[in-house]
Structure 1
Amino acid sequence: MTPIHVDVAIIGSGTAGTAAYLSARAHTESILFIEGGDYGTTCARSGCMPSKLLIAAAEVAHQARHADRFGIQATDLVVDGPAVMTRVQRERDRFVGLVLASVDAMPSGVRWTAKVSFQDANTLVTPKGQLIHARRIIIATGSKPTLPPLLHGLDKHLLTSENVFELPTLPKSLAVFGTGPLGIELGQAMSRLGVAVKMFGIGGGIAGIRDTGMRDYANKIFNDEFYLDADAKVESVSETATGVAVTYQHKDGSRIVEEFDYVLAATGRDPELAGLALENTGLQLDDHGVPLFDRYTLQCGDSTIFIAGDASNDIPLLHEAADQGRIAGDNAGRYPNVVPGRRRTPLAIVFCDPQVASAGIPLKTLNQHFLGRFATGCASFEDQGRSRVILRNKGMLKVYAELNSGVFLGAEMFGPGAEHIGHLLAWAAQKRLTVDEMLEMPFYHPVLEEGLRTALRDAKHQLDSGSAVVDQGMDCGPGG
């Protein structure tokens, strides 16, 4: 076979790989876009979009089931499991189709379908021996679900994000392992659709919430809906003829053996790097087998290899993968003129109810590098005007601002409308607005964003006087 020679080879056709291709193409037409499996993105196939479709159905069922709070009787509620999953799959396939159409629009000579591994830092080889010599290579192979040892050995009744959306109907019962963002989203959605759900976590984490008081509050709210033990003691998990038996210590101290139709492993994702033979590249790898890289250039060491997206094990979010792909593609295309790319303010959202959002500098980083140098402004949504009107009055918001300068540093929220308020907070952090400047912005009435104003006022009081404000303020009244 005649060896192939290109300027840039991109391994992986997901969000990061596609962004890398578009960016590298500005510098060279000599590109090979390599995919060893299905073309498309995790987001469209098994991540963002199908999960949100399931959540949307769950929200409708939940609102109908609790319509009596508004004086409305919605009787004889029926959740049609096959119909719910049919819509999830139909709309999921539509999103996947849109992604595939963009791939199909690429020149046919650019695409190459095969698994590849590194023969050396500038040479890839297929299982059939085809050699690909590339001056620069971008690794954008994505990630795969993590399966903890406790769940090894399960087969027909094991679900992950890769196959849960293929179910023909909703199960009757489900044990969810993992109380992070994915586990909370899918566990709550299944529960609201009538599935008997129990959730088991490790280490006490819930939905990625960093503030301990907020996490304790969220734990209580979620447990009002379904059983959740964020630091569970599970003895064993074994497959039976009809499902999965889970032996665990109940929160009340009793030992329980309970059978579920399925187990859902929502225990994170690992970079998909197996089979690449990275040991042949000469790159320095971390403890997880990921090449060490500069997160602003995406260059691995001083090599001609770049890494982007979930494969980098940095921030596994779609918008971050797109940014990384763009930076890696630009630098691979312009090499050796490697330049730092622009990274945006961190923003993360969990689509549970109440929603979770974090923006700006994470609380852990603040406590490490700003300890004693930032003020915290707080607001509760339990008595917030708009929240009470729509009966979504559960949640809290904490904002962080630098002492002396008053610059807004970041925030964490567990509450209604967090997906929207989170964006406002991320924009403010990226523009380095001060608390005073944020309070000068318009706040309509009555809206959820008035809760943000309350938190900012609390932060301002501390910035001005060094003590927390006692009166949280009114959403309506003299001066708003």
Structure 2
Amino acid sequence: MEKREVDVAIIGAGTAGMVAYQRARKTTDRVVLIEGEQYGTTCARVGCMPSKLLIAAAENAHQMELGPLFGVTARDISIDGKAVLARVRKERDRFVGSVIKSVEGFPESHRILGHARFAGPHLLIVKTANGQAMEVEAKRIIIATGSRPNIPRFLKEARDRLVVNDDLFEWQDLPESVAVFGPGVIGLELGQALSRLGVRVRMFGVGGAVGPIRDESIRDCALKAFNREFPLDPDADVKHVGRTDDGVSVTFIDPVEGQVTETFDYLLAATGRRPNVDGLDIQNADIELDEKGMPLFDPHTLRCGDSHIFIAGDANSALPLLHEAADEGRIAGDNAAAYPDVRTGLRKTPLSVVFTDPQIASVGLTIDQVNEQCRGCFAVGEVSFADQGRSRVIGKNEGLLRVYGEHGSGLFMGAEMFGPAAEHIAHLLAWSAQRRLTVSEMLEMPFYHPVIEEGLRTALKQLNRNLSIGPEPADGCLECGPGV
């Protein structure tokens, strides 16, 4: 058995793993990057990029349908499913190729393609692609193994017609119908895109959630909007899923018609993802695990307990977003390289965007977190985009933005939004939150006319009026209520 001794071993060559490798290599050349399947990140292969390519096609189709609103009539609009998916794959492969090129730029001696498992706290056994086994002894180890789709058992009754987002981008043509289970980020983005590309879509959820939205007012606004395009029940009562000669049958309770059975070509399981730690023999790592077998770790250092092992990216399932994975790769890589000098890394203001139309965005603290942190002593400002000038001009006048501020300090705490240009407004808000600006300081910033950002100013003005600003009294509250 071939044996290697390194200072830092990184398991997983996704976004977090690649960044961790680059950071660790600044300190030591005795580093190895181990990848179990194939190079190319989740984002490039099956996540951010191919999904946005599909969404871009859907947005173009939808915009053509809106032509009569502006007095423009487009003739002979048709959707070529084969062409749509061919472009998705072509551009997807281009993004993946760029990632692979980056990895192949690393020294060959630093790369191992094979599945790693723990044989001890410092010892990894890697089964390489050619079936050989390799022993890697590492002073420090970073787990960056990513995640995979999580599929509830009852959905597997769809058998060969069950797909996840990984599979969808390999379709050669668009189907006629898809049942989507899971109105989370993936389900909403792909479900709406398929619907706008002419696919009959029905979406089922559990528990009432709509994407990552936590503000009930925003959730209600989004739910109404999505249901105007396709049926979405966020707390569906599904009785049965089964494979039939015609596809997949789904029996569910409709609020109006009672028990209904519909048949679809495919069932898309967008029911969350699970971290890839269960194949690592993590029990041999001598670190503390929770009841689900996940390593316990410090989110600021990414260190597992007081060990020499770190965990970053989707593998820790804390913040499954690409920019967070990159930040965590940096923190884990720096700390693994400098061990035992482990330091707290910079964690940026939480920021998430869902690329539906209208878009969904969350910045800073959620309304529940604001309520908890401020002990109920906060205010809310909001704006509807129904009559917002620029939004009406471009025919995207739908949605709601709510912003949260703290009584006493006047600090901006967070926001949620369902509306136009949310991806851009969210960045302005995230920068403001990270700089710890007060609401009045945010209102001192320039706002051009006519732009959608003027809606943000309207919400901030209302929030500023609702805030009680001044020294915080001993009882911790300036008003008898939260000022909502």
TM-score, scaled to structure 2: 0.95
State how far apart, in whole Å, the 1-side matches of 2:75 and 2:260 are.
35
In structure 2, the residue matched to 1:233 is: 237
Candidates 426, 430, 452, aligned match of 1:426: 430
In structure 1, the residue matched to 2:192 is: 188
Give, as a single letter, the amino acid of the residue that structure 2 aligns with 1:300. Answer: C
Q: Give the drift of 1:253.
A: 4.5
Contact 1:81 1:170 in 2 (8 A): yes
Distance 1:129 1:97, change over 3 A: closer
Corresponding position: 1:86 with 2:90: no
Corresponding position: 1:141 with 2:145: yes
Of 125-134 and 256-265, more deviation after overlay is shown by: 125-134
Distance 1:133 1:461, change over 3 A: same
In structure 1, the residue matched to 2:475 is: none
Q: Give the drift of 1:207.
A: 1.5
State how far apart, in whole Å, the 1-side matches of 2:446 and 2:276 are.
46
In structure 2, the residue matched to 1:477 is: none
Corresponding position: 1:295 with 2:293: no
Corresponding position: 1:206 with 2:210: yes
Contact 1:229 1:251 in 2 (8 A): no
1:318-374 deviations in Å (ceiling 9; x for gaps): 000000011000000111111110000000000001100010112221122223211
Give, as a single letter, the amino acid of the residue that structure 2 aligns with 1:78. Answer: S
Candidates 363, 374, 378, aligned match of 2:378: 374
State how far apart, in whole Å, the 1-side matches of 2:133 and 2:68 are.
67
1:35-84 deviations in Å (ceiling 9; x for gaps): 11011110000000000000000000001012101101112210000000
Candidates 157, 162, 183, aligned match of 2:166: 162
Q: Secondary structure at the match of 1:84?
A: helix
TM-score, scaled to structure 1: 0.96
1:243-287 deviations in Å (ceiling 9; x for gaps): 111111113141111110000000110001121001111211123
Contact 1:290 1:313 in 2 (8 A): no
Give, as a single letter, the amino acid of the residue that structure 1 aligns with 2:223. Answer: N
Contact 1:236 1:247 in 2 (8 A): yes
Contact 1:396 1:415 in 2 (8 A): yes
State how far apart, in whole Å, the 1-side matches of 2:375 and 2:383 are.
21
In structure 1, the residue matched to 2:472 is: none
Q: Give the drift of 1:89.
A: 0.4
Of 435-444 and 238-247, more deviation after overlay is shown by: 238-247
Q: Give the drift of 1:464.
A: 4.6
Aligned pairs, number: 467
State how far apart, in whole Å, the 2-side matches of 1:286 and 1:427 are.
34
Contact 2:161 2:243 in 1 (8 A): yes
In structure 1, the residue matched to 2:114 is: 114
Q: What does 1:430-445 align with in structure 2 at a 5 Å threshold?
A: 430-445=434-449
In structure 2, the residue matched to 1:355 is: 359
Q: Secondary structure at the match of 1:154?
A: helix
5+ residue gaps, structure 2, are: 470-477, 480-484
State how far apart, in whole Å, the 1-side matches of 2:181 and 2:431 are.
34
Q: What does 1:280-359 align with in structure 2 at a 5 Å threshold?
A: 280-359=284-363
Give, as a single letter, the amino acid of the residue that structure 1 aligns with 2:389. Answer: G
Corresponding position: 1:35 with 2:39: no
Q: What does 1:256-267 align with in structure 2 at a 5 Å threshold?
A: 256-267=260-271
Identity, in percent, stands at 56
Of 144-153 and 335-344, more deviation after overlay is shown by: 144-153
State how far apart, in whole Å, the 2-side matches of 1:69 and 1:153 are.
44
Q: Quote the RMSD (CA, aligned, Å).
A: 1.2
In structure 2, the residue matched to 1:457 is: 461
In structure 2, the residue matched to 1:472 is: none
In structure 1, the residue matched to 2:474 is: none
Q: Give the drift of 1:387.
A: 0.6
Q: Give the drift of 1:159.
A: 1.1
State how far apart, in whole Å, the 1-side matches of 2:371 and 2:271 are.
26
Contact 1:355 1:414 in 2 (8 A): yes
Q: Give the drift of 1:158.
A: 1.0
1:116-160 deviations in Å (ceiling 9; x for gaps): 100011000124442110000000000000101221243321110
